[in-house]
Amino acid sequence: MAEPPWCVDIVKVISHDLLHWYHKAFRDYIVTWNQNIIDLPDRRSEIDVRLRLQIPRPGFRHFTNGISGIGQWMQGDTRDLEKEFLTAVAGAPRATARLITANWAYLNYMYLATYPYHTEDTLLEAERQVRDFEAVRDVYADLGGRISDDTGEAIEGFQIPKLHVPRHFPKYVRWKGTLDGSTTETSERLHIDLVKDGWRATNHRETHLLQMIRWLDLRERMESFELYRHWREGEEEVGDSSRGEEAREEVTVGKRTKTR
């Protein structure tokens, strides 16, 4: 008997999103749990201190003020932190070997997920890193990192969709291709260009939505006119060059006639 149409693999139906399912999960869960474990209450953040003590070097961001003061996290902030986080946590108080192993395994399979191309070896390595992470992730709960933001009570289990999805990404890559083709990082940039800039152009009153629409319409018209202008200039340059070629040919023909 064939399976009913509603019996589908939801992981295959929904495309994986590197930005929200991997990078944002790192910031929302892994970083937060490490802060709850390592940072002591009523004292300055140990992770902030360790990030500030990192040696500045080309190609890496130096978190001069730490990360506790960052109110609005951007994708660039998260990517920069991923490069520095493991070295900042290693050797910290209460940072046990199992905690370092869990952080290391998560970062490993997250970086593997961002590969622009894959081989069977890289997918097998990703599956191994996911298994390693799931084998030791209980350390976040054991050390008191997985707690409720509202009540401060410990939370048992890891029924978190963003932490469950990675075990399926090797199968997804074999079926649909690499994850860089389905990430929302590209469209996320449009949120700045089309929404935030549009909001800044309004007077922030009740009619702001209509003003944003008119602003976007005017912007598209201006861009269309600019493309048309460049196209016309290109046509005129081609026309001028062709007329020049014809004039040179006429001169050459005239010289040959006189010679004869």
Mean pLDDT of the chain: 83
- Which three-class secondary structure state does DSSP give residue 166? helix
188's enclosing H/E stretch is helix 185-190
* % the chain with pLDDT above 70: 83
Which backbone phi and psi does 102 adopt, to 5 degrees?
Answer: -65, -45
Q: Which of 178, 208, 37 is nearest to 113 (CA)?
A: 178
With the C-alpha atoms ordered 70, 188, 76, 216, is the resulting torsion angle positive or negative? negative
- Using 50, 70 and 90 to split pLDDT, how confident is the model at 67? very high
Domain ranges, ordered by start, for the chain? 10-183, 188-259
Q: What is the pLDDT of residue 10?
A: 64
Q: What is the pLDDT of residue 31?
A: 94
The token pair that represents 230 in the structure block: 């460049």
- Which three-class secondary structure state does DSSP give residue 84? helix
Q: What is the pLDDT of residue 118?
A: 92
- State how far the Cα of 1 lies from the Cα of 88, in Å rounded to an integer: 55
Q: Report pLDDT digits (tens) over 168-207.
A: 888 888 888 888 877 776 666 677 777 888 888 899 888 8
- State how far the Cα of 83 lies from the Cα of 86, in Å rounded to an integer: 8
Q: Give yes or no for a contact between 60 and 80, defined as CB atoms under 8 angstroms apart.
A: yes
The more confident residue out of 186 and 219 is 219
**Looking at the DSSP assignment, which residues form a beta bridge with residue 154?**
147
Residue 5 scores a pLDDT above 70: no
- Using 50, 70 and 90 to split pLDDT, how confident is the model at 239? low
Average pLDDT for 65-90? 89
Q: What is the pLDDT of residue 232?
A: 86
Q: Report pLDDT digits (tens) over 86-144.
A: 999 999 988 999 999 999 999 998 999 889 999 999 999 999 999 999 999 999 999 98
Q: What is the pLDDT of residue 12?
A: 65
* % the chain with pLDDT above 90: 35
